[in-house]
Every structure is written in structure tokens, then in C-alpha cells.
Structure 1
Amino acid sequence: MMFGYGDEWWVLLLYPVLLWVPFGPFVMGGLGVWCARRPGPWPWLWTVLLPLEPVGASAAVIVLPWSQPTRTDDLVGYLLVYVAGITVLPWVLGYGTTRVVRAVRARRGRGGAV
């Protein structure tokens, strides 16, 4: 029994959500670098599976109160901050930065100007 009720086991699904806020951008940035350095199915699979639980659990909390209509501005704010800002943007920055650095180094290595 947690918090005095036997049916509140689902709160355990929200602990990764709390950890995803401070550590998620660093994890997703690292996954973006991993995807850029080692192309293949495993980095891409981990990129999708790792944030699935924290993002999915928090999305369920936003959408599930069926008794009240979901407010569009809350949903848009969640998608912009939690999904795009914490999850997607750091991955894109890590992936893009690594690809640009590798391209610049390859260009210099082919006999380009110093």
C-alpha cells in the first residue's frame, strides 16, 4: 500500500517522468551523438524506446481525465516543452553537431585549406 491506498501503484510510473526533466536532455543529446557516430538499428531503437515511458506516462496524465475536456493550450504547451524541448531538440542538436563536425573534419582531411 502506498500513500494509504491500495490502488495507487500507477504513481510508480511517474518517477521516470520526474527524472526525465533534469536528465532527459543530456540523455537525448548523448543518444543523438551515438546515432550520428554509429549508424545502425540499435542507436535508433534506443532513441525511441528510452523516452517512451516518461513521455508516454506524462502524456497519459495530460490526456486521461476523461471527465474534463482536454484543453488545447495545455496539450500544445506539453508538446512544445516536454516533447519538443526536452526530448527532440537535444537529440537534434547532438546529432546535427556531430554530423557537422565530422563533415568539416573530413573536408579538411581531403586536402582542403588549413
Structure 2
Amino acid sequence: VLFNEPRFISATPDRTIIISDVGQNAIICIDHNGKVVFRYKPDGQNGLKKPQGVCVDKLGNLFVADFGNNRVQLLASDGLFQRNVLGIESALEKPVAIRVSGSNRMIIVQSDGMVKVFSYS
């Protein structure tokens, strides 16, 4: 089975599709034919816990709202972990939806309904 509990979806500049899957604690990238390009499911400190919103910037970088870990992860376009962009130290709590803008702004909606805007680089 490709998906267990898919939640959010986003498209990349190169026309692949990114899906967060809560049931697998994974991010899955597929091409337009449904073939898996990569599956991001790390263990350890970078492991996802109920990943929710996903979005892609104009360079193809992926942003993942890591709901259960109260953080946002940045992945390269090939699905490799780059860094945690935001976390608890940013007063981020249970991020659900995420969007980035061309002006290096990140808009996040938390499960409590709060909308937060951050700058990132």
C-alpha cells in the first residue's frame, strides 16, 4: 500500500507531488504516473511524528509541518533532510498547515487556530 493516512498534498516546480502520510509518519513524493520518487521516513531525532502540511518553495525545497514534534523540517528537493527551520524555541505548537512565500516568509496555522508568520533564510 502506497499510503496509509494521507493528509496534505503539494506540487513541486518539476511537477512531482508531495504527500504527508500520518499513518506512516512519512513524506512521499510521486511522479505524475504515481511512481515513488522518494519516501522520507527518518528514524532518531529527525523522525517525523504525525506530519501534516507540506509545501514547496520556488527552488523546490520542501517544508514539512511536523505536528507531533512541534517543528518545521526543511528537506532538499531530493528528500534529504537539511535542517529544522522552526521548533519549540519559536513558540511553535502543533503546526498543521504551512505555506511559504517568495519573500522568505512562512505562514503556519497551528491546531489551536493561531496563525503565525515567520521569516526564514
TM-score, normalised relative to structure 2: 0.21
**Higher relative strand content:** 2
**Bigger-Rg structure (1/2):** 1
Higher relative contact order (CA 8 A, sep 6+): 1
